Structure formats: structure tokens, C-alpha cells
Amino acid sequence: MPFVTHLECAYCQAEFPSGEVHGLCTKCSRPLWVRYDLELIRREFPKKALFGRPPTLWRYLELLPVENPQNIVSLTETITPILQVDRLGSEFGLQNLMIKDESRLPTGSFKARGMAMAVTMAKELGLKRLAAPTAGNAGGALAAYAARAGLESWVLMPEDTPIINQKECVLHGANVYAVNGLIDDCGKLVGEGKSEMGWFDVSTLKEPYRIEGKKTMGLELAEQFDWELPDWILYPTGGGTGLIGMWKAFGELEALGWLKSGKKPKMVCCQSDGCEPIVRAFESGARHAKRVNNARTIASGLRVPKAVGDFMILDAIHDSGGLAMSSPEKEISKWMHLSNSTEGIAVCPETAVCLGVLDQLVSQGKVKPNDRVLVFNTGAAQKYPESVNIELPKLDLSQPVDWASLPLA
């Protein structure tokens, strides 16, 4: 039984019917929320109904927009683990530091959640050709899920997008083009080609359903924490659907009466100082972010000069009592190495930025030693070989090895 009532503009509150193809609001060109009959869900879908369901994001089907489960496009989007990281936590003086490892998802990143939902809804609504800009993992996820659904995909990416992301899209059968610009330039081209190419634009927040897929991070972590949310969530923020989606999830869970208390986490938007539009807007008190020109960061998922849903990100930060902070670009490799070497968790550059922000929050006394802190690892480090520059020491087979002199890592 579908519980969606309508779609609603996040900015002007204009309403639109469900079951139809929608992009941005036709009145103000802002993103749309999917709205549910939460009172009906509360009556029809008790929390105990989750027991025994498969451990995938689709276990929360009543809180998702799919009308017919046969339309679900899945590569088995598993529940991702929350790992206690005590050795890493001790580096910050924290007793309850945890990492939710989204790299376990298909295509190696959290982008699988959003694209699984977007492609599922595209299939349900009868769309055949999908297009999106990408600076990293979103393109690979779109290509994979489109292939799984038997749909056509087009991906436009900055020409300096990591080579692994380029090849991933090609291997999944996407039509891939490199653009001599940034991701928002790619997004403009997708928009310009819409009428002639006949594709549907599944760019971040330019359709309503990727955010519903990302919302499952919040639903999932709430269940993993036995419905008592952590004190802090640090999230690497480019386009912002993950942070926005989680905050939406917490609001829906609160309305359902599933949370043990009304206390919700402080949401921290983490960006590199090489591309920090949300941080600048937060610090200035603005509702919208100004575009960052010449954005540069090896954390490719954060290289978003201006987010379509900037005001939605800022609203979530303010509503949660959270913060937007940046970490120095030059420290990304240091934080990657620290996490990977102390805990064996292959965190991506975007997550390394979160650790840099966490270091500042602890130093400033904002995060206390006993606080429960959850950091999201949004992708696998293995997809970012360019972010680690090393030269291995060599052993010469023609010479005896002086084992005692070999340096330790």
C-alpha cells in the first residue's frame, strides 16, 4: 500500500501530485520533498514489522516512494555497519567515536542509495533515458543501476574526474563525456541537452527521489542505535542530499513516535577549505551559498561550487543546532592515513575531511569526551588512488637484505 500523499516544494511549499514525472518546482525552480501520510503509516506500520525483513534499505518500504515493489531496481543495498573505532577515538580523546562505513554498498559508495531509488522511480514512471553530471561516484552508481534496469544512461563529468570513476561508468555501458569545467558546468549541459536528447535529469536534488534513497541512512542508523540517536553526526557535504535526507528521516521517525526521545543529533556539514560554499554561507548567516570559483580539492565528491539545495542543507544544520566547518586540504592525506592505519577502515578523502573537522571541534571544546560521535565514510579509499602519493622502498634481488635496517611504517 503506497503512503505517498504528494510532492511539496522545499522553498515555496507548492504541491504536486505523486505518480507523475517531476523535476524541480515549476513555480520557483527549487527541489521537491516527497510527503507521506505519516499518521496512516503510524497506524499501519508498527516498528515491530521490521523484524525478520531482509537487511537492505528496502526494509523501510513503507517510508519510501515506490508504489509497486516489482519495480525495485536493486544490487542488494545492504545495511552498512557502524564500527566502534576506539584506537582512532583515542587520537581525539573520545570514548564513543564510530564510523558508518558506506563503502560496503554496491559501486563502493553511498551514492548507491540515491541512484537505486532514482532509477527505481524512473522505471516505475516509464522513463527510458537518464542523464546526470558527476565529479566522482554518482556517475558510476547511475551507470550501474541503469544497466541493472535496462535503461540508457548518459554521464557528463569534469575532465579531471578520477580515472577509476571514468572507467567505472564506461564499463557499466554509460555514454560518458569529459567536460572542461566543474560539476555545475556539467549540470548546465545536462539541462541544455534535455529537450533535444530526451533524457531525464537525475542530477542531485533536480529530481525528488535520490534524497529518499539517502534518507535510508538516517532510518538505518536510528534502528542500529536502537532508536536513540547519537549526539553528533559528521557528514562530508557536496550536493548535500545525504545530510538533508537524514534530517528528513529523523523528522519522519519522530512523527511516527519511533524515537526514544526528542533529542536529535547535531548535524555537522564538513567541507574542504578548497571548496567551502556552505561553510561560508553558514558563517555569514546567509540562506543561500555563493558559488566558489576555482574550486579545488582531491575529495572529488566535495568539489561542488554551488549546491542546488544549499538552503535545505543550511536549514538542517540550523534546525539541529549543528555547524558547517572546513578542514585544510593539505591535511586530507594525513587523516586518511591515520584512520586506515589505526583501524583498517579504508576511508575516502571526503571522510578524511570530517576527521579534520572533528579535530577542530574537540580542540574547541564543542565535542566532549563522552559524546557519541558518528562519522560517515561515504566511499572506499581504493577508488581514490590519486589522493595518496607514495614511492615504495625497494629491495634488490642482486644484494643480500639487511633485515635489521629496514624502516618500520
Full 3-state SS string of 47-64: HHHHCCCCCEHHHHHHHC
The per-residue pLDDT for 162 is 87
- Residue whose C-alpha is closest to residue 230's, from 242, 246, 216, 244: 246
Q: Are 289 and 280 in contact (CB under 8 A)?
A: yes
pLDDT per position as a tens digit, 208-252: 999 999 999 999 999 999 999 999 999 999 999 999 999 999 999
pLDDT per position as a tens digit, 20-69: 999 999 999 999 999 999 999 999 999 999 999 999 999 999 999 999 99
Residue 129 has pLDDT above 60, yes or no: yes
Instruction: State the cell numbers at 191.
Output: 539541462
The per-residue pLDDT for 335 is 95
Q: Find the mean pLDDT for residues 335-353.
A: 95
The per-residue pLDDT for 408 is 81
Q: What is the Rg, in whole angstroms, of the alpha carbon atoms belonging to the chain? A: 21
Q: Whole-angstrom Cα distance, residue 102 to residue 92?
A: 22
The per-residue pLDDT for 136 is 83
The per-residue pLDDT for 135 is 87
Residue at grid coordinates 549541459? 189
Residue at grid coordinates 566511499? 379
pLDDT per position as a tens digit, 280-329: 999 999 999 999 998 899 998 999 999 999 999 999 999 999 999 999 99
Sign of the alpha-carbon dihedral angle for 183, 22, 208, 151: negative
The per-residue pLDDT for 390 is 83
Confidence of residue 386 (pLDDT cuts 50, 70, 90): confident
Question: Which amino acid would we find at residue 63?
Answer: L
Q: Find the mean pLDDT for residues 325-343.
A: 95
Q: Whole-angstrom Cα distance, residue 239 to residue 303?
A: 9
Q: Are 264 and 250 in contact (CB under 8 A)?
A: yes
Sign of the alpha-carbon dihedral angle for 322, 325, 327, 332: positive
Q: Find the mean pLDDT for residues 393-402.
A: 93
The per-residue pLDDT for 365 is 97
Domains and their CATH numbers in the chain: 82-107+209-383 (3.40.50.1100)
Compare 262 and 357 and report the one with higher pLDDT: 357
Compare 184 and 35 and report the one with higher pLDDT: 35
pLDDT per position as a tens digit, 349-363: 999 999 999 999 999
Confidence of residue 1 (pLDDT cuts 50, 70, 90): low
